[in-house]
Amino acid sequence: MSELGPITMRDLSLIPVERLRGVGPKKQASLAVVGITHLLDLVTTYPRRWIDRTNEARIADLVPGQEALVLVTIRSVTKRTTRNRRSMINVNVGDGSGRMDLVFFNQPWRERQFKEGLHVALFGKADTYRGGLQMSNPVVDLIGDRTGKIVPIYPQSEKAQINTWEMAGWVEETLRRCAERTIADPVPEAIRQRHRLIDRSEALAGIHLPDDMKTKELARYRLAFDELLRVQLVLVLRKRALERDSLGIQHTIGGPLVKRFYESLPFPLTGAQTRTIEEINADLGSTQPMHRLLQGDVGSGKTVVAVAAMLAAVDGRHQGALMAPTEVLAEQHATSVRAMLDGVTVPDPGNLFGDRPLRVELLTNRVTGADRKQVLAGLADGSVDIAIGTHALIQDTVDFSSLGVVVVDEQHRFGVEQRAALRSKTANGAVPDTLVMTATPIPRTAAMTVYGDLDVSVLDELPPGRTPIVTMWADGGLMEAGVWNDIKNEVAAGRQAYVVCPLVGESEKLEVASAEETLERLAFGELQGLRLGMLHGKLPSDEKAVTMDRFRRGDLDVLVATTVIEVGVDVPNATVMAILDADRFGIAQLHQLRGRVGRGEHASTCWLVTQQKEDDEGNAVVGNPRVEALVATTDGFELAEVDLDLRGEGTLMSTAQKGRSDLKLASLRRDRKLVELARGAAFEIVDGDPDLAKHAILADELDLVFSDQDEEFLAKS
Ligand code: ADP
Ligand code: MG
């Protein structure tokens, strides 16, 4: 038997649970209900808590008013109904030292749970009641006859009729049977040592049957690492395969155009811009196509970085393209990029002077007729150096002479397919380099997982001289009146304002109605006498453009808008924003919206307006964690972390396909450091062994754990 070598996860996945002592047909069926059919399922069903009996108290020692853990035996259970028709379960329990009562309100099922003679662990606060001790609604864990200092508590299923001590017993038996052959550890020794990871056998024993809490922690750390490593391996394998399969362009770095561009900038680059440009240049100069995500908060100066990357393409006689999610944004980009590149020339041997002006063209669905024809012809013959547009850029009818660098702005508005379509516009068979820019900060570790096939650069520094934005929460009508006053004062001082309309469901029609309603209300009410304009997604694009122009020129005082202004709109003279029903927006969206002010020399204010809420009993509800987070900080990355915290874990895979591949122990929130270690380890393994031929057990484990569906999901998100 020992010739067989250590037991792998695959081996465990092939042994049915009925091979265990004590698992007959009935228990087998019960286990199947909770998805446990083979030993692998059993050993990867981890305890949800561990009771540390070294902290255990005896009933006689309980101090009224203090929380404590006691292990007791059930003596008797009685059920009653209180006067206001709530159920009340009274339970008398005892240990060697004494007795006490438990009382549970509104938990009628407890009557079935508590059988006389059962051993339970209680955690709660004892109080004196009618001369004796009583705990009300303590945390209860059934522990059966488990002994040991640490008692694992498994997820229990009333429906499936499985107890935690049965689970513990089966896991114990499984691990005992594995002991002779030992459990294989597919993670290379060097990586384990470097990250102080305990052996997998030890980890499995340590998570299920720990001697102390420290052992359990080390075990959790190791097994969480394994979960994250597997995810990262899938992503890194895919990333490397993509790179292998595609030939990129080796761009000219530090060419004359780029140099001149830096010299022409009226400001020095920030440290973050310099670092990011270096990272991008390393990609551009290599033969492998770049797939890089550039994260940078609003105003961090992503455009400069994007232009530098596109100019590197032009320096090598290729073209650059910048794709924006909306026409308004594309037009704004075109205006600002043209301004940045004003007067720049490119070599042109066919020209009398040996050069010609660099040509930047806009391509959206609004560019039509002869103009469109000209732009298309210029893209095809290479006389357009930089194209800026919407998804119109990736239509089949658009041919580039030699597309070298593609910048995609605000990626969350584009699908993966669209990115892929742009990449498919190759230059003589070579894939253009892609830079995806997003102003929605994603915590770095989440980015590593969600955009696992992209490299990540972060602009984590704002250019100097920004005027800070003061964010205030206006809760209820009284405070809202102050908001309108503030707007009137700012307008009187020559400034401008945004009013963001309440978010109404998913329907664009409702949103338009909401915008119209808000405009009307303000025009005839609070903001009477000011020049108001309106912007929403359903307006014809030329009307939108006219309104934006008027606002930019200062012909409008207040722009009433839906979230269409979320991205890109840049009017430095706008210094106040009021977001109505702010509590309906997500943190990221509020942050994006707020970024529309604070773009000029004047101090800015963002008002988050909410309607005061009451609970069922008519008390004002205080506290709104999202709004409060926005008030507390303007740092997008900090907000992204808060957002992740507030939204909780969620699953990594789509909810429909929870399963083996899910993170059971690892948490993207708590284990940020571990995600980075796992990603590093995945690169190390894959780069030393591209098809995992030398890591057969690990490769097999990936096959075992991830369905094709999972892999697709990971790759696509
Ligand atoms: P983002 O696209 O990241 O929101 P932009 O690229 O639009 O930011 O830049 C915001 C503003 O900051 C622009 O007016 C730009 O000219 C300016 N800017 C960019 N980089 C710097 C810098 N290094 N120093 C000063 N101002 C800068
Ligand atoms: Mg921008």
Residue 451 CA to ligand 1 center (angstroms) comes to 25
Determine the 3-state secondary structure of 586 from DSSP: coil
302 CB near ligand 1 (under 6 Å)? yes
pLDDT on residue 717: 43
Domain edges within the chain: 54-147, 256-285+300-438, 469-633
- Identify the pLDDT of residue 220: 97
Q: If you search the block for the tokens 């453009």, which residue do you land on?
A: 545
Q: Which atom of ligand 1 is nearest to the CA of 340?
A: 16
Among 36-50, 335-349, 428-442, 530-544, the range scoring the smallest mean pLDDT is 428-442
575: left (phi over 0), alpha (psi -120 to 50) or beta: alpha
Mean pLDDT of the 607-628 span = 78
* pLDDT of 335 over the 70 cut: yes
Residue 71 near residue 120, CB atoms below 8 Å: yes
Give 326 Cα–ligand 2 centroid separation in angstroms: 12
Q: Whose CA is nearest to atom 17 of ligand 1?
A: 301
Helix (H/G/I), strand (E/B), else coil: 264? helix
Mean pLDDT, range 339-359, rounded to an integer: 85
User: pLDDT-derived band of residue 393, with 50, 70 and 90 as boundaries?
Assistant: confident
Tell me how far CA of residue 301 lies from CA of 94, 268, 586, 623, in angstroms. 68, 12, 24, 34
pLDDT of residue 570: 78
Q: Is residue 606 pLDDT above 80, yes or no?
A: yes
* pLDDT at position 1: 44
CB atoms within 10 A of CB 212: 13
Percent of the chain with pLDDT over 90: 50
pLDDT tens for 581-605 read: 998 888 888 988 898 898 888 899 9
Query: Does residue 332 register a pLDDT over 50?
Result: yes
Whether 256-285+300-438 and 54-147 are alike in CATH topology: the answer is no
CA angle in degrees (0–180, nearest 5) for 632-636-640? 90
Q: Is the CB of 273 under 6 A from ligand 1?
A: yes
Q: Tell which residue, 432, 400, 425, 454, has the closest CA to residue 247.
A: 432
Task: Compute, in degrees rounded to 10, the torsion defined by CA atoms 58, 62, 68, 69.
Answer: 20
CATH architecture of 256-285+300-438: 3-Layer(aba) Sandwich (3.40)
For 296-364, what is the HEC assignment?
ECCCCCHHHHHHHHHHHHHHCCCEEEEECCCHHHHHHHHHHHHHHCCCCEEECCCCCCCEEECCEEEEC
Q: Tell how far the Cα of 299 is from the centroid of ligand 1, in angstroms.
A: 5
**Over residues 403-407, mean pLDDT:** 94
- In contact, 388 and 360? CB cutoff 8 Å: yes
Q: Residue 3's pLDDT band (boundaries 50, 70, 90)?
A: low
CA-nearest residue, atom 5 of ligand 1: 301
Least confident interval from 261-265, 410-414, 657-661: 657-661
Asked whether 54 and 46 are in contact (CB, 8 A), the reply is: no
- Average pLDDT estimate for 204-220: 95
Closest-CA residue, ligand 1 atom 15, reads: 301
Whether residue 712 is predicted with pLDDT greater than 80 in this model: the reply is no
Class of domain 469-633: alpha beta
Evaluate: CB of 437 within 6 angstroms of ligand 1: no
> Residue by residue, what is the 3-state secondary structure of 82-93?
CCCCCEEEEEEE
pLDDT greater than 50 at residue 655: no
For 636-668, letters b (16+ CB in 10 Å) and e give bbebbbbbbeeeeeeebbeeeeeebbbbebbbb
Q: Is the CB of 514 under 6 A from ligand 1?
A: no
Out of 2-16, 132-146, 182-196, the most confident range is 182-196
**pLDDT value at position 532?**
97
What is the reported pLDDT for 652?
Answer: 42
Kindly report the protein residue whose alpha carbon is nearest to atom 24 of ligand 1.
Answer: 463
- Exposed e or buried b for every residue in 146-172, given b needs 16+ CB within 10 A? beeebbbbbebeeeeebbbbbbbbbbe
The Å distance, Cα 364 to ligand 1 centre, comes to: 24
249 has a pLDDT exceeding 50: yes
- Weakest mean pLDDT among 44-48, 395-399, 635-639, 690-694: 635-639
CATH second-level architecture of 54-147? Beta Barrel (2.40)
Write down the pTM of the prediction.
Answer: 0.67
